[in-house]
Amino acid sequence: MRPSLLDPLFAPLTSLPGVGPKLEKLYRHLLGRDEGPARVADLLLHLPAGTIDRRARPKLRDVVPGTVATVLVTVDRHRPAPPNRPRAPYQVYASDETGDLTLTFFHAKRDYLEKLLPVGERRIVSGTAEFYDGTLQMVHPDRVVSEADLDKLPLVEPVYPLTEGLSLNQVRRAMDGALAKLPMLPEWQDEAWLRRSDSPSFAEALHALHRPETPADVTPENAAWSRLAYDELLAGQLALALVREHQRRQPGRGSSGEGALREKVVAALPYSLTPSQERAVFDIVVDLARPERMVRLLQGDVGSGKTVVALLAAATVIEAGRQTALMAPTEILARQHLKTILPLAEKAGIRVAVLTGRERGKERSETLERLGRGDIDLIVGTHALFQDDVEFRDLALAVVDEQHRFGVHQRLALARKGQAVDMLVLTATPIPRTLALTFFGDMEISELREKPAGRQPIDTRAIPLSRLDEVVAAVGRAIAEDHRVYWVCPLVEESEKTDLAAAEQRFEELKQHFGERADLVHGKMKGPDKDRAMARFAAGETRLLVATTVIEVGVDVPEATVMVIEHAERFGLAQLHQLRGRVGRGSGRSTCLLLYRAPLGETAAARLKILRETEDGFRIAEEDLRLRGEGDVLGTRQSGVPGFRVARLDVHAGLVAPARDDAKLILSRDPDLAAPRGQALRHLLYLFERDEAIRLLRAG
């Protein structure tokens, strides 16, 4: 049961003044609550991106155009819109002893403005000032107060990330309501640590961030933000430690055999295993034979052969008469694994099936029946695998790909489909040590460092968009020589607010050059349409595939040798590396062209430079963490699954190891979280949605 003290924080946002059902929808989008209603706690953890500083009080002659100015002026006269031009602006003329200021309002109500800005009286006005036709203007000032009400003007105001349809003032008003609901929570952090780090309490930290006194109060390095970051990291580490402890307490079931089935798979391979693949398989086989449950992370670059290692792990438990499930985050990726596995499995006599959201009706029922009877050895699928009606005869191994896209509870849901299920987690994004600890706790780690034999290095070049015609000509030459080409764009359709090249628009332009040889694939297409476009490209019916980042993972066309990435400066480093990994998969030489809009910013230039220098995903991941923070390293920021709400690993990486050590110490002293600090920590686990771990405590 959730502690009742938290009820005000778990109340829906509609319990706050001014938040009705229509706005609640927008808040859900803003706060990433696509699955359920947004709650007061979600809003409180939506931290400011910056501030508006109204502390300076310049005279009008000293106002810097384009900045927020807070000025004391006398209201001279009103000039309403003429009756025959209702769309014309309503203007209020004001001045001080050094100059004049025009306040401009659109769709204004005259009686409201006459009351707000009475002629002859002095008002403090704050907003962005600009010169227009030689006159200093302020369009729709943010704040207008009388001198008597000066104390009601917040001198430093937080600025929040927004979504279309929500204004800053709406979010600030809702935030005031949320802060008013904040209960006095028990302190879950160690007192000695609080004193040593000079940390505020949880409530004090939230007040400091949402009601800042200086712009420095809302920086991630600040004590208030760092306190909340440590809270979030500790909640994560504690949950992971409880999961591990739970898995250790559950007796394992060793799976071992003679290795004959593994040998059949290896014999079916068109190449020999790399040394690191052999090492990973050895470690996994040893783990599987033990009576304790395996939890191992297999990380390796794009094309390093993780799927084959996973299949060899599966062969080990299948030989022992049991079953394996391989879960991928997207249908494209699930079907890509299937494509790699099927020919090898058929030669080795392993029975394979697929289960995604697309399998329905009779086909799905038959698959579930066969799975329950044990007539399927290995099932590949998406999150459809852990739905309630999916039952295995004897699931021994769960392989989870791109783990960071699944929560701990989803991982556990799959593990609960069998008795003492071993867990192998795959990631195509090499993860720096800090991140591996953050996302996986103390999981055993295997790394695939080499590329399979015969892979050629990829020639990577950065080219300004002004040379687009040359790139189109080069693509034409590649197609004429029978090569296949990817052309990746960042968005599907042109938005009014961005000048990004849209995939659909670029496709139309390239189609004029290449006709029916060009095709289009993007995330908004239906699954079967996407698959058909990919199949046409893989079969060589089309030669140029214009795509969004839907091809980032799991697309394997060895004949593709050219990758053009448009607006490369807008992508994260890990994502650029993933996209580049779609070529260079055959024995031919491959090229990656990074098209960028000049001039490049410092971070974007550093990213493109690193890509030109190296194809080592492990080095790229370390550089990425240094340049951009955890979201990009895991490729999650673009996929809408940020690693954290509060913690920023580029700033707070140093807190991960202490949080892990703290979690271990807590559980060694109080394994059931029953002592006073343990009880307080239960509040923390609920707040950061790690309550699955509390259920494990009850499960014993």
DSSP 108-130: --HHHHHHHS-TT-EEEEEEEEE
The separation between CA 126 and the C-alpha centre of its own chain, rounded to angstroms, equals 36
CA–CA distance, 103 with 56 (Å, rounded to integer): 19
Which band of pLDDT confidence, cut at 50, 70 and 90, is reported for residue 551?
low
- Residue 273: DSSP 8-state: P
Tens digit of each residue's pLDDT (9 = 90 or more) over 17-56: 999 999 999 999 899 887 788 999 999 999 999 999 998 8
The distance between the two most distant Cα atoms of the chain, rounded to a whole number of Å, is 96
What's the pLDDT band for 346 if we cut at 50, 70, 90? very high
Average pLDDT over residues 626-633: 53
Classify residue 97 as exposed, middle or buried by CB count within 10 Å of its CB (0-12, 13-18, 19+): exposed
pLDDT of amino acid 638: 33
pLDDT category at 636 given cuts 50, 70, 90 is very low
Tell me the C-alpha distance between 406 and 327, whole Å.
Answer: 10
* 3-class state of residue 163 by DSSP: coil
**Helix/strand/coil (H, E, C) string of 433-500?**
HHHHHHHHCCCEEEEECCCCCCCCCEEEEEEEHHHHHHHHHHHHHHHHCCCEEEEECCECCCCCCCCC
Choose the weakest-confidence range: 311-320, 435-444, 477-486, 575-584.
Answer: 435-444
Q: Cα–Cα distance between 395 and 388 in angstroms, integer?
A: 15
- As a whole number of angstroms, the distance between CA 280 and CA 261 comes to 17
| Position 558 confidence tier, pLDDT thresholds 50, 70, 90 | confident
Between 46-60, 376-390, 429-443, 506-520, the lowest mean confidence (pLDDT) is in: 429-443
Q: Which positions ≥6 away from 406 have C-beta within 8 Å?
A: 327, 329, 383, 400
Cis omega before residue 21 (within 30°)? no
Please provide the CATH number assigned to the domain covering 250-448: 3.40.50.300
pLDDT at 408: 58
Q: Where are the domains of the chain?
A: 55-153, 250-448, 458-638
Helix residue spans in 320-357 (DSSP H): 331-348
**Local structure of 507: helix, strand or coil:** helix
For 333, 409, 437, 455, the CA distances from 327, given in Å and listed in that order, are 9, 14, 22, 27
* Band of pLDDT at residue 419, cut at 50, 70 and 90: confident
**Comparing 553 with 556, which gets the higher pLDDT?**
556
Residue 659 confidence (pLDDT) = 93
Question: What is the pLDDT, as a whole number, of residue 439?
Answer: 66
- Quick check: 120 pLDDT over 70? yes
User: Considering the entire predicted model, what is its pTM?
Assistant: 0.64
| 273-292: average pLDDT | 93
C-alpha dist (Å) from residue 225 to 231, 457, 521, 580, 657: 10, 43, 41, 36, 18
Give dist(CA 683, CA 231) in Å, integer. 11
pLDDT over 90 at 364, yes or no: yes
pLDDT of residue 634: 41
pLDDT of residue 253: 73
* Closest to 127 measured CA to CA, from 106, 104, 107: 104
Backbone angles phi, psi at 674, to 5 degrees: -105, -25
For the record, the structure tokens of 637 come out as 């920021």
What is the band of 250 on the pLDDT scale with cuts at 50, 70, 90? low
Q: What percent of the chain has a predicted confidence (pLDDT) above 70?
A: 90
pLDDT at 8 over 90: yes
How do the residues of the chain divide into helix, strand and coil, expressed in percent and rounded to 5? 45, 20, 35
Query: Which residue do the tokens 């290995």 mark?
Result: 378
The Cα–Cα gap between 544 and 516 comes to 9
What is the rounded distance in angstroms from the CA atom of residue 125 to the CA atom of residue 141?
7
The two beta strands, 68-79 and 122-132, are: antiparallel
Asked whether the predicted pLDDT for residue 635 surpasses 90, the reply is no
Mean pLDDT of 386-391: 88
pLDDT value at residue 411: 64
- The CA angle 662-668-671, to the nearest 5 degrees, is 105
Hey, do 55-153 and 250-448 end up sharing a CATH topology, with the first three levels equal?
A: no
Q: What band does 247 get if pLDDT is binned at 50, 70 and 90?
A: low
- What is the Cα–Cα distance from 181 to 202, expressed in whole angstroms? 14
Three-state secondary structure readout of 518-580: EEEECCCCCHHHHHHHHHHHHHCCCCEEEECHHHCCCCCCCCEEEEEECCHHHCCHHHHHHHH
| Mean pLDDT, rounded, for 405-412 | 61
Least confident span in 192-201, 453-462, 475-484:
453-462
Residues 55-153: name the CATH superfamily.
Answer: Nucleic acid-binding proteins (2.40.50.140)
pLDDT of residue 500: 44
pLDDT averaged over every residue in the chain? 87
* pLDDT for res 643: 62
Bigger pLDDT: 136 vs 134: 136
- 60/351 Cα distance (integer angstroms): 79
Is the per-residue pLDDT at 5 higher than 80? yes
| Residues 234-246, mean pLDDT to the nearest whole number | 85
Q: Does domain 458-638 have CATH number 3.40.50.2300?
A: no
pLDDT at 421 over 70: yes
SS3 string of 66-107? CCEEEEEEEEEEEECCCCCCCCCCEEEEEEECCEEEEEEECC
Q: What is the mean pLDDT of residues 607-620?
A: 88
Residue 295 falls in which region: left (phi positive, over 0), alpha (psi -120 to 50) or beta: beta
Count CB atoms within 10 A of the CB of residue 517. 17
pLDDT of residue 442: 62
The token pair that represents 114 in the structure block? 């006459």
CA angle 69, 74, 80 (to 5 degrees): 90
